[in-house]
A and B are shown apart, each in its own frame.
Chain A
Amino acid sequence: MSTTTAMTTPAEGGAVREAAAEPQSLRAGKKDWRGWLFVGPFVVLFALFLVWPMIHGLYLSFTGESLTGANGQLIGFDNYAEAFSDPVMWHSLWNTVWFTVLSTIPLVVVALGLALLVHQVPGQWFWRLSFFMPYLLASTVVAQFWIWMYNPQLGLVNDFLGNFGVEPIAWLQDESWAMISVVVTTLWWTIGFNFLLYLAAIQNIPEQQFEAAALDGASRIKQAFRITIPQLWPTTVLVLILQVLASLKVFDQIYMMTNGGPAGATRPIVQYVFEVGFTGYRFGYASAISYIFFALIVLVSLVQFRITNRRNG
């Protein structure tokens, strides 16, 4: 997923709010231009390799630019008009949203469940190792492991299900199973991150609360539902925000495991950008699709920002 991208971010919402606040340690006084010497190197690279491509991409999206020699002239909103009437674009956008829904729910719920369970038993380092390790693997490695697991004739998944009399399934080639299979792989790969966030949060809940509940005779399951889960709400919000944004950016594992197939059934929007831009070399059109994807991310971020801001009053 996502793990792929160079770098992302703790919740943007909180960060933006922080930006407005003065750091306590800053001594008020005269402006000191030498600050630019410190931020300079970062700002130059930031301007060159982030701000400039962002602006240039917007410009490209209004041109017919391509490597195949077509015109680089401004063509107004033609690319956007084409995108909005392009069924493949809509299908890819839908796949992205559908993947996000299918992956976010188990990635939050199962991570919470795992953390609740691990909190009850000894040997934390072992559980952390088991559930978190896959998170550190490159997407290529994860894809190789799972293509092999899902192999229709020789894979472990069909071999295991065969014990229960299930006929072999072509997990990655079957339209009704391909997306589910990719989601399962993603769950295996990335759950460790959410799991660690939950585990840390549980360990921060004051001990006395459990002791009081235990004295009242509350069972462990009751304790979980009455005390732990409500107290974890801020963590759940954080995990949800990060997970939705990460899932929307999915590309690697789908590209490697199904190449977007069968028949485009799993192709995410990032892969469509990649195909238009780097196999068709239509830079203008690919930029327009990029910006539609960006608009989706901004929209989701704004919604998240509004919701969390209201909650914090």
Chain B
Amino acid sequence: MSTSTLTRGDRQAPARKPSRLRESLFPGERMLAPSRLLALVLLIVLALAWIVPFLWAFATSLKSEASAAASASWIPEDGFRWDAYSSVLSEGNIPLWAWNSLFTSTVITLITVAISALAAYGFSRIDFQGRRWLFFVIIASLVIPPQVLIVPLFYQMLTLHLVDTYWGIILPQVIAPAMVFILKKFFDQVPIELEDAARIDGASRFRIFWSVVLPLSRPILAAVSIFVFIAAWNNFLWPFIVTSDSSLMTLPVGLQTVKSAYGLQYAQNMASAMLAALPLIIVFLFFQRQIVKGISTTGFGGQ
């Protein structure tokens, strides 16, 4: 595999060239080329298959419990209604869990980006004692799956009395060696001449980092922040392990624990799932370009 596929920064990401088909789209006959038409039909069928689970969940969430439990028809006999949403929002803990998710994910994102950017700059620009082995250790740690750490981490949280606290949820999630790596690659490409002027003026290292390098790095910082935020928002296993107090749970954890409590209330189940999905759908609509570009140029962001 070529490393460059992964780490090529924004700098090299080519401005999207207009794709062939946009040029030749409407000169009629070529668009109707049989192979292209076939591709289109196939894609429409596949896209439908991908969208249907969403629509089906949404349709169910708009039914009454009685008609949701009666049959698999799309249109309920007693009509669509918002009842499931209002009962989920008024009776359940969903607003509280959404707040917990928003709070912990935001703090995780702020800390992760801050410490990762500082470290990446240090590794990129300052030749300090132990730099090389330290960086090697951090990169080597990429091989450690977070799942391996759950038992000793929980034990550690017990001794630190951080079980069932926000900090217990947050602290283990702020270490992101992949982000240090990605940001270092980016800083490596920033021409050092840009810093020289500031240095001649007597600016300190930190001052240069803060007022010269960071402003240049806005796009990559935005991409990293979005990915860290989404990962934290969606993370299930760790918050699930470290919280048992319902009032501290994040949205994914809370939903999992009430799933059984709702029992056979299908409409409410789907309404709460839709509510949990909504913030990320909005995030995607707003940041589609950054997300797509982030994944295609660095290959990070999840899995």
A binding-site residues for B, Cβ under 8 Å = 1-20, 23-39, 41-43, 45-46, 48-54, 56-57, 60, 65, 114, 117-122, 124-141, 143-146, 148-149, 154-156, 158-159, 188, 190, 193, 196-197, 199-201, 203-204, 207, 210, 219-221, 234-235, 237-238, 241-243, 245-246, 248-249, 251-252, 256, 270, 273-274, 277-278, 283, 286-287, 290-291, 293-294, 297-298, 301, 308, 311-312
Q: Which residue of A lies closest to B119 (CB)?
A: A42
Separation in Å of the A255 CB from the closest CB of chain B?
A: 9
Residues of chain A within 8 A of B68, CB atoms compared = 154
Contact of A39 among B114, B134, B155, B284 (CB under 8 A): B134
Report whether B43 and A234 are in contact in the complex, using a CB–CB cutoff of 8 Å: no
| Cα–Cα, bound, A120→B24 (Å) | 11
Residues of chain A within 8 A of B301, CB atoms compared = 193
Q: Which residue of B lies closest to A38 (CB)?
A: B122
Report whether A28 and B134 are in contact in the complex, using a CB–CB cutoff of 8 Å: no
A146/B176 contact (C-beta < 8 A), A122-B21, A196-B296 known: no
User: Does B154 sit within 8 A of A, measured CB to CB?
Assistant: yes
Report whether A219 and B35 are in contact in the complex, using a CB–CB cutoff of 8 Å: yes
| Cα–Cα, bound, A144→B254 (Å) | 13
A11/B1 contact (C-beta < 8 A), A41-B118, A188-B50 known: yes
Report whether A197 and B149 are in contact in the complex, using a CB–CB cutoff of 8 Å: no
Given A11-B3, A23-B124, 20 more A-B residue pairs with CB atoms under 8 Å apart are: A4-B234, A5-B146, A7-B173, A10-B181, A25-B125, A30-B127, A31-B129, A37-B205, A53-B155, A54-B144, A56-B156, A121-B39, A133-B284, A139-B236, A140-B255, A141-B277, A200-B296, A201-B5, A287-B152, A293-B145
Report whether A138 and B119 are in contact in the complex, using a CB–CB cutoff of 8 Å: no
Can you list 27 A-B pairs with a CB-CB distance of less than 8 A? A4-B236, A7-B179, A10-B7, A19-B132, A23-B188, A24-B188, A25-B187, A35-B128, A38-B118, A38-B121, A39-B128, A42-B116, A42-B175, A49-B156, A53-B156, A136-B284, A138-B276, A138-B277, A141-B273, A193-B301, A200-B296, A203-B19, A241-B1, A273-B147, A273-B151, A283-B155, A297-B148
Q: Which residue of B lies closest to A221 (CB)?
A: B35
Residues of chain A within 8 A of B5, CB atoms compared = 201, 234-235, 238
| Cα–Cα, bound, A197→B293 (Å) | 10
> Max chain B CB contacts within 10 Å: which of A37, A39, A210, A308?
A39
Residues of chain A within 8 A of B43, CB atoms compared = 114, 117-118, 121, 127
Residues of chain B within 8 A of A32, CB atoms compared = 126-128
Report whether B236 and A46 are in contact in the complex, using a CB–CB cutoff of 8 Å: no
Residues of chain A within 8 A of B131, CB atoms compared = 35
Report whether B181 and A35 are in contact in the complex, using a CB–CB cutoff of 8 Å: no
| Cα–Cα, bound, A19→B142 (Å) | 12
Contact of B241 among A9, A201, A249, A278 (CB under 8 A): A278
User: Does B66 sit within 8 A of A, measured CB to CB?
Assistant: no
Q: At the interface with chain A, which of B76-84, B85-93, B215-223, B224-232?
A: B224-232
A193/B269 contact (C-beta < 8 A), A2-B302, A6-B238, A41-B115 known: no
Report whether A301 and B303 are in contact in the complex, using a CB–CB cutoff of 8 Å: no
Report whether B300 and A220 are in contact in the complex, using a CB–CB cutoff of 8 Å: no
Q: Interface residue count for B (Cβ, 8 Å)?
A: 136
Separation in Å of the A301 CB from the closest CB of chain B?
A: 5
Report whether A114 and B46 are in contact in the complex, using a CB–CB cutoff of 8 Å: yes
Secondary structure type dominating chain B contacts: helix
User: Does B27 sit within 8 A of A, measured CB to CB?
Assistant: no
| Cα–Cα, bound, A138→B274 (Å) | 11
User: Does B246 sit within 8 A of A, measured CB to CB?
Assistant: no
Residues of chain A within 8 A of B42, CB atoms compared = 117
For B243-260 the 0/1 string (1 means CB < 8 A from A) is 000000001110110010
> Max chain B CB contacts within 10 Å: which of A132, A148, A246?
A148
Within 8 A of A (CB), among B141-173: 141-156, 171-173
Contact of A138 among B6, B182, B236 (CB under 8 A): B236
Report whether B127 and A31 are in contact in the complex, using a CB–CB cutoff of 8 Å: yes
> Max chain B CB contacts within 10 Å: which of A4, A36, A128?
A4
Report whether A291 and B148 are in contact in the complex, using a CB–CB cutoff of 8 Å: yes
Top 3 closest A-B pairs, CB basis?
A35-B128, A38-B122, A200-B296
A12/B143 contact (C-beta < 8 A), A6-B176, A39-B123, A141-B276 known: yes
Report whether A135 and B176 are in contact in the complex, using a CB–CB cutoff of 8 Å: no
Q: Which residue of B lies closest to A300 (CB)?
A: B143
